[in-house]
Structure 1
Amino acid sequence: MRFAPEAGQRFILTVDTEEEFDWTRPISKSGHTLHSIARLAKFQEFSEAQGVCPIYLIDYPIATSPLAAEILKPAIAAGRAEVGVQLHPWVSPPHDEEVNQFNSFAGNLPHALEREKFHRLHAAIEQNFGATPLIYRAGRYGTGPHTAEILSEHGMAIDTSVRARFDYSAAGGPNYRDHPVTPYWLDRSNGLMELPLTSVYWGILRQIGPWLYPKLWRTPRLRGALARIGMLERIPLTPEGVTLEEAIRGIDIAIDEGLPILVFSFHSPSLAPGFTPYVKTEDDLDALYDWWRGVFAYLRQRGVQPSNVKDIMRSVELATTARPS
């Protein structure tokens, strides 16, 4: 697909905005908390100071939280933030399925149930946040055979569920190992594009990374050794488990490969200590903010400008309607 050439290379910041739960325990529709919602205010202020418009991908407990709406609604109304949909089926009504690992991937649900869960979540976001969401990410990246149809039916413009170069099939989810990392059309007739999360291979062997890396999944020590000696490393653009130095290497590869849009992501519970494996202390939280400062500074240095859903849609429209002189 094409973007307006004057847009140059851009990046977006997506936030998987969700409840807190114990990542080490089986998935449950109860027992979650919402303590980290209050920390969204600081992150929004930080992002605005950096000239970045966060895209909050909201699931049902957040969509129905008065505090989340109070914090984010003014920024969304002013265009300083955007809102999207993130479907965690285990906490999203109707609760007609058995809650288990297989059904935690929304695309595994029966068509009618996936659609109804999405419909109710989409409506809750519209009602409580005063904006129509146009971007979607399936929780656990769990798309299925009917997801695109459901999104098109609801007028969605972008799906960003594909985590290119990752494979979730061992847990019953999708395999995105061979999916492209560049944007592409899911349903061109309805204007629905796929905007994959950005993950790249770095190192001397990166050209054969798509073939070699999956063969190493049973040998994490070997993967680590190859990364340390600069042979092969998979780098997703996230502060969760990725150092600033690694992220800069990933940015360089993405720029060199000509990706039109770099997609960054992280989970909102990481904005408070103790709710994810990545931020356990206030020092870890300070490090997370430092990571973003370093990434934003490097992106400015490389000439990669922040973007949002509205800008992306405008760029695609301009490229589509442009005619040769």
Structure 2
Amino acid sequence: MPGPNLLKPPGKDAFAAFVAGFGQRFIVTVDTEEEFDWAAPLDRDRHGVVTVPALRKFQRFCEGFGVVPSYLVDWPVASSSLAPQAIGEAVSRGAAEVGVQLHPWVSPPFVEDVSEFNSFAGNLPFELESAKLHALRDRIESAFGTAPLIYRAGRYGLGPRTAEILRACGIAIDTSVRARFDYSGTGGPNYREHPLRPYWADADRHLLELPLTTVYWGPLRQLGNVIYPQLWRAPRFRGLLARAGLLERIPLTPEGITAEEALRGVDIAIDEGLPVLVFSFHSPSLAPGHTPYVRDDEDLDALYDWWRALFAHLARRGVRPTSVREIMASVQRG
């Protein structure tokens, strides 16, 4: 019998249910990674970790709202002493959690050529993907003194056998599926038909998929999965639809999404009854000048204001923060 394949959308019988009282929750995930030039070809050596200390400020900020961030750590960050210095104490007392994020081009063993196709870890041979993931998982546990329970493939690059590797690594949750997005044009996965609801990736319910939350907004939103794929060559037309208030795709991230847009997205996700809203962004955005989204101090202030607005709105709507451990304790396996 073939193993679980996260590239295939699940049947409705795979949707996860949660214990009474869990309600609707949200989780903040941080792609905790090295800085590199997003406009340049991928490179094994041209990167840094100077933004890692900025995690400390974000951690204190989240704690002020009772939020437990999940830091999805890749190899350069896990190999730096700066990471445990910034968030290690918070992890040890349960105020933060660490997970795994695999950027294969900077994660040993270094066997494959560096290319866009190989930047999606799921495209690598099974043995190599497994070796990289196991090595990174062990490095993170060594750095933080706790076993990571959640995984996100860098560039959302799941493969047909990634779920097998995650189970072997003791990972309980995958959060690589970016529903409503299609990366097949550059060699990656197509998640256009995947659901937003958490679901079990395997028949015996050992691996939970927690998709990143992206919703369609506007009068045409029920046709979003039909219209959007037809417009991938016409971004200006997508922008026209959004400005006209007809159709907008809203991922829950402060990167490229205004607070006003995100608030609309949150309200749709709540109204659709999603049990867990998954927010995400990249850790280099926590310092100016390292991502296209935070170029200066004014942009950084705006990022923190974005989170303030979202946390306040979620509280008004009765959506409380959650964590990986709470999700696993609250999901029903029967």
Unaligned residue ranges in structure 1 (runs of 5+): none
How many residue pairs are counted as aligned between the two chains?
A: 319
Task: Specify the alignment match of 1:173 in structure 2.
Answer: 188
Code of the aligned partner of 2:91: I
TM-fit CA distance, 1:68: 0.6
Task: Specify the alignment match of 1:315 in structure 2.
Answer: 330
Matched, 1:249 2:233: no
TM-fit CA distance, 1:29: 0.6
Rounded Cα–Cα distance in structure 2 between residues aligned with 1:114 and 1:191: 20
When normalised by structure 2's length, the TM-score is 0.94
Tell whether the 8 Å contact from 1:21 to 1:31 is kept in structure 2 after alignment.
yes
TM-fit CA distance, 1:188: 3.8
Alpha-carbon displacement from aligned partner over 1:228-276 (angstroms, at most 9, x marks no partner) = 1110000000000000000000001000100000000000000001100
Rounded Cα–Cα distance in structure 1 between residues aligned with 2:161 and 2:43: 24
Task: Specify the alignment match of 2:22 in structure 1.
Answer: 7
Rounded Cα–Cα distance in structure 2 between residues aligned with 1:106 and 1:217: 24
Alignment counterpart, residue 147 of structure 2, candidates 132, 136, 159: 132
Tell whether the 8 Å contact from 1:152 to 1:187 is kept in structure 2 after alignment.
no
RMSD between superposed Cα atoms in Å: 0.8
Alignment counterpart, residue 82 of structure 2, candidates 67, 74, 88: 67
Task: Specify the alignment match of 1:226 in structure 2.
Answer: 241
Tell whether the 8 Å contact from 1:152 to 1:190 is kept in structure 2 after alignment.
no
Code of the aligned partner of 2:88: K
Aligned ranges 1:282-301 → 2 under 5 Å: 282-301=297-316
Match of 2:98, SS?
A: strand
TM-fit CA distance, 1:190: 5.2
Matched, 1:83 2:115: no
Rounded Cα–Cα distance in structure 2 between residues aligned with 1:31 and 1:113: 22
Task: Specify the alignment match of 2:253 in structure 1.
Answer: 238
Aligned ranges 1:142-291 → 2 under 5 Å: 142-189=157-204, 191-291=206-306
Rounded Cα–Cα distance in structure 1 between residues aligned with 2:115 and 2:70: 29
Unaligned residue ranges in structure 2 (runs of 5+): 1-15
Rounded Cα–Cα distance in structure 1 between residues aligned with 2:273 and 2:40: 40
Q: Which has the higher helix share?
A: 1
Tell whether the 8 Å contact from 1:156 to 1:192 is kept in structure 2 after alignment.
yes
Matched, 1:39 2:32: no
TM-fit CA distance, 1:283: 0.4
Rounded Cα–Cα distance in structure 2 between residues aligned with 1:211 and 1:166: 12
Tell whether the 8 Å contact from 1:28 to 1:90 is kept in structure 2 after alignment.
yes
Code of the aligned partner of 1:306: P
Rounded Cα–Cα distance in structure 2 between residues aligned with 1:5 and 1:188: 23
Rounded Cα–Cα distance in structure 1 between residues aligned with 2:266 and 2:298: 25
Task: Specify the alignment match of 2:119 in structure 1.
Answer: 104
When normalised by structure 1's length, the TM-score is 0.97
Rounded Cα–Cα distance in structure 1 between residues aligned with 2:225 and 2:49: 38
Rounded Cα–Cα distance in structure 2 between residues aligned with 1:127 and 1:149: 23
Runs (4 or more) in structure 1 with deviation over 3 Å come to none
Code of the aligned partner of 2:168: E
Code of the aligned partner of 2:189: P
